[in-house]
Structure 1
Amino acid sequence: MATTIYQSIKLAMVSLFKGKYPAYDVFCEEITKTQNDEPEPDLEDYIFLDIIPAGSATVDAEHTDRRVLVDASIHTRSESNADYLTISQEVDDLLRPVFRFEDGGEARAITVPDVACKVVDRVLHCTFTLAFRDSIQEPPPLPYMETLDTSVKPI
């Protein structure tokens, strides 16, 4: 279970990409198969999701505006630009116009205005920003102190 909004977004992203590309390995934290000196041969089709908290701004006592930058790095065995063009359209269709996820049992939806895609070093990068307002649920205030009776002795 997710404990922060960022973990909720991460879990939803992994699930979304695994659902669309079941044959691909989907990673979020680290690609453990590349931590060795020699990469393993079965790591050909993969998606690495880099989820970066990009900012939080206080709106008022109960609301915070948040931004989360997401970079989906997609690698295919073919490393073909034609394949990457097809995948970039599929990713755009997958994410826009609305990304949906669940946070603390509540359904959330964030409008994704644009997805930018480019190929760098034979890896497709689809980058987008999630910008949303988060409500902070404050605990109910404690009751005020009752009247205090005091007595003062003259000096």
Structure 2
Amino acid sequence: MAAVTFKENPVTLLGNEVKVGDTAPDFTVLANDMSPVTLDDSKGSVRLISVVPSLDTGVCDQQTRKFNEEASKLDNVKILTVSVDLPMAQKRWCAAAGIENVQTLSDHRDLSFGKAYGVAIEELRLLARAVFVVDSNDKVTYVEYVSEATNHPDYEAAVEAAKSAK
């Protein structure tokens, strides 16, 4: 498993580490209207999945805004941001932040995404910061588990991976 710290303290990640070349694991999360969303709901598109501990923190806010900005430059790429924030809080945050190009999804109910992608932090019931790119055939083409959850991911590498995925 990826070694991850949160504020420099080691944390335990639940689930299986996802690697490039794997078939993307399915999951069920909640959209802002509380409806279930699965990986299949975006089948046929490249997915850039941005994982954040909470939208209501500085780095997570910046990460989501950055990918929202990049989304308008990407063809056939859906950007999904997953956190354990409640769907209503995500909706309110997106409205206040002007986020329109990223779909925020909540994993608060049962950590389905977190466990499937190996990013559920056992000690905090948050998700570790990570970025995954899944191609239109559900193959994982890019993975970054950010080693310190309060650091930024490599935005440029993630966007380039999404651009080159088919």
Question: One fold, TM greater than 0.5?
Answer: no
Q: Give TM class, smaller chain.
A: under 0.3
Higher relative contact order (CA 8 A, sep 6+): 2
Larger helix fraction of residues: 2
Q: Which of the two has higher C-alpha Rg?
A: 1
Larger strand fraction of residues: 1
TM-score, normalised to structure 2's length? Answer: 0.24
